[in-house]
Amino acid sequence: MTERLRLKKNADRRLKAGHLWLYSNEIDIATTPLKDFEPGAQAVIEAANGKPMGIAYVNPHSLICARIVSRDVDVRLDRSLLVHRFKQALSLRARMFAKPFYRLVYGEGDLLPGLIVDRFDDVLVVQLNTVGMDRLRDEIVAALEKVLAPRAIVFKNDSSGRRQEQLGDEVEVVYGELPDQVLLEENGVRFVVPVLDGQKTGWFFDHRANRAWLNGLVAGKRVLDVFSYVGGWGVQAAAHGASEVLCVDSSAQALERVAENAALNGLAEQVAVGEGEAFEALAALKAEGEQFDVIVLDPPAFIKKRKDIPNGERAYSRLNREAIRLLGRDGMLLSASCSMHLAPERLMECVRGAVRHQDRHGQVIYQGHQGPDHPVHPAIPETAYLKAMGVRVFRN
């Protein structure tokens, strides 16, 4: 008999609206004590009147104590449902992209909370970010094998989300054999992806469309790519005609990959690298009298939790101020944020303040977000996290 988890009165409103999460303070623990559940176990979710509402996996130790995996109480999350959901996800990507390089599964956006799968042709990189998904690791591998017959599957389980779920870190090839180099192509440019020792899954597919937009404006320009990682923005800018590109990152290893990716595309002459913490590097470039036509700011999330919002907004403001000091008379700023807790209008405010601080004018000519391989769940605002603003910055 399947376990059941009953909600308090009126605690089913978000679920009815389509949301997939349940919080521990919404559970009727007198009727169905959370402490009785084994982490990762699946249960029938019931409204306060006992009406079944769906199947969820449960973690009694987490604030989000249950995540819906099926609205049909007769359907469990198992290999069969995983195969079905993977095929649904694949059909969307096949419609959107000509080549097999994309995020194949985007957690809640693909009705598979806690699961991320990035596809690099025949290599799949998987993140199991919750106990519920971690318990299904063998079924996930089997389902991916059935749907895509990959050459290799990598578990890149080192996210902060896992630590919140009291799961350990692990990075390993769990299926097949990893080739010496994992390659991808984005916007006509090739990259080597560090799937084992890079950030997240090794690549950030979410900015693909934003990079494509900027690529159309860089011909003949001098470009600065801050927080460059392996050169997603900078190497693409060089490939689309930028005269010079400087990629700045605090990681020497990432900058080695920038050089490797520039060389892979025959762009070694156009792309230079500079190692340093972003704020210090921007100050040093200003002191050296450097100027750029285009500057890309794509920092890691400065706001991880709600309590970080004030400090995070100050950091975004300062970063944009320091960058604008390095723009020429009529420059282009691409300012991005992957902080889910930073509202788009607050990023706009950070940029507005930074432009005025330098006594310049700004024109917002582009507002971008994550690509279609990161589909936004309309009931879950947390699935819409990425913001990118293209701003022309000019003097009187």
The catalytic site residues sit at 338
The continuous run of DSSP H or E covering 261 comes out as: helix 252-264
The continuous run of DSSP H or E covering 269 comes out as: none
How many other CB atoms are there within 10 angstroms of residue 18's CB atom?
A: 12
Is 91 in a helix, a strand, or coil?
helix
Strand pairing category for 189-192 and 183-186 = antiparallel
Q: Can you read off the two tokens belonging to residue 161?
A: 């989300």
Rounded-to-integer distance, Cα 221 and Cα 132, Å: 49
Rounded-to-integer distance, Cα 334 and Cα 221, Å: 14
User: Which alpha helices (DSSP H) does 6-152 contain, by range?
Assistant: 13-16, 79-96, 131-134, 137-148
First vs last C-alpha separation in the chain: 73
Residues 6+ apart with CB under 8 A from 265: 189, 190, 235, 238, 239
Q: Can you read off the two tokens belonging to residue 91?
A: 């059909």
What burial class does residue 242 get, using C-beta atoms within 10 Å of its C-beta: 0-12 exposed, 13-18 middle, 19+ buried?
A: buried
Which of 359, 346, 370, 368 is CA-nearest to residue 393?
359
